[in-house]
Structure 1
Amino acid sequence: MLIRLTVRRMYCENPRCRRRTFVEQVDGLTVRYGRRTPVWCRVLEAAAVALAGRAGARFTVVLHSMVSRTTLLRLLMALPDPPWTAPRVLGVDDFATRRGQHYGTVLINYETGQPLDLLPGRDAETLAAWLREHPGLEIICRDRAGVYADGARTGAPQAVQVADPFHLWQNFATAVERRVRRHNVCLKPPDADENSIVHISFTDEQDPTKEMSPIETRLSERHRVVHTFLDQGHGIREIARELHMGAVRRAARAESPEQLLTGRHQPRRTQLDPCKPGRCCPRRWQGSR
């Protein structure tokens, strides 16, 4: 559709006026310094909301309009936030802008799934301040982090705190996996008799034909790198700073990668270990009343 539009151009007779000319605007059709009509801008905004940058730019080609991804993102950022009211059930969880270093908190309406706000960091005071500004919450469905529990208890003491179903299933799956790995010696192959018990290893040292999973490969590599630095005389904190890695102490206590894979707790070694019951020691500590 080609529209031929004729408007009036008005001139200012004041020589001190910075705007020399004024162009008449048509409501709903033209805007000042606009290269697109308001209707077409709303179409591009809808494409940006649904598909964002690159995908939205490819979709606008079908609409016979060449728009870059940065233009769509600029239209998306210029949109006002949708209005919302204080929810009855609030969902609280964290997100990472840089995993392991920078985190934030996302708040959503748990009944509708609408995002409400993003908070910097994941500390209790920030969450408590937001809850004080938005009273009326009945239920807080949160991550199982202790800081969120403290923030919810301080900012909304009347609200009932429940655990997020995702984290409940995640913790349940992790507990089951660890329990199965600890009892892997009880597993028998289909062709084994009832009296034979075969130990199934989670490493490829005894079974070369078995392919390791990505988690097993990552834990084995972590164990190898940590013990390589330990053999060179580096400390735990120095290794953690150098590798930007967590759980370095747990990998250092494990004698083999299989102990990391099975999830068995490695007790901390102390100077009293030789004196514990069952150890070969001529003298043992005995409590006195």
Structure 2
Amino acid sequence: MSMARLATFTVGGKARYGAITGKGVVDLSARHGQWPTLREVIEAGALRRLAEEADAFAADFPLDAIAYDIPIPSPEKIICVGVNYPDRNEEYKDGQAAPANPSLFIRFPRSFVGHGAPLVRPPDSSQLDYEGEVVIVIGKAGRRIAQADALGHIAALSLCNEGTIRDWVRHAKFNVTQGKNFDRSGSIGPWLVPFTDEAQIADIALTTRVNGELRQQDRTSRMIFSFRKIIAYISTFTTLVPGDIIVTGTPTGAGARFEPPIWLKPGDVIEVEAEGVGVLRNGVVDEGTS
């Protein structure tokens, strides 16, 4: 029996968390008032237990009654890895080999929506682009974590469409912060899948489709920087804490790389899929129309 998937969602204007099962949605937040959000569940080391116990309960809501939110409502950190697949590095056509250390940048929770909610194209630019990525959620705090111990710090997996406003990534000399943080320009979800062991992430297929057309396709075994390396490297300079989100990089094939570029537009549907995790699906609207 597959373990239930844990989601944060809104019903009747109230944020809750629970398990997405074959029967529907089990409201675990109503049964575990000591943990206000999934962040506290993770901090208590209880994520897998809640996922396993969900099977014992009848569904509280049908699937179509909920609106998905990002799984961790207020993570302390969302850290994203840039250029982490070999073909993606080659896209830059700068003749440089893969770097020794990962490129990193920060995103704010407000820049993401949940599964099923539309990405928002701002009036400032038409260059809204997609980037499908695997997400790891930290379960155990640590600083200067050894690669050998790194996977013991993962609580769960999820997916991200790391939506980017391309021309705003180039607004200044060095930083990408602006183009990566427009409100509601990306998505995380649909849910958290509790992490069990390395086999769960070692070689999984990651794909992105736009309106059903395959745009991105690669495997996590080909990442330049492994999950172990990413955790060890980031924890060198900052303490990772439960609920922190690490977005681990996107394969080649984003809209910016087409000739001419193919930007997302209202009405498009983007699906990010990873084996064993699920499908993150979002539409697109113009700001002010959602």
Q: Which has the larger radius of gyration?
A: 1
Q: Which has the higher contact order (CA 8 A, sep 6+)?
A: 2
Instruction: Determine if the TM-score, normalized by the shorter chain, exceeds 0.5.
Output: no
Higher helix share: 1
TM-score, length-scaled by structure 2: 0.22
TM-score, length-scaled by structure 1: 0.22
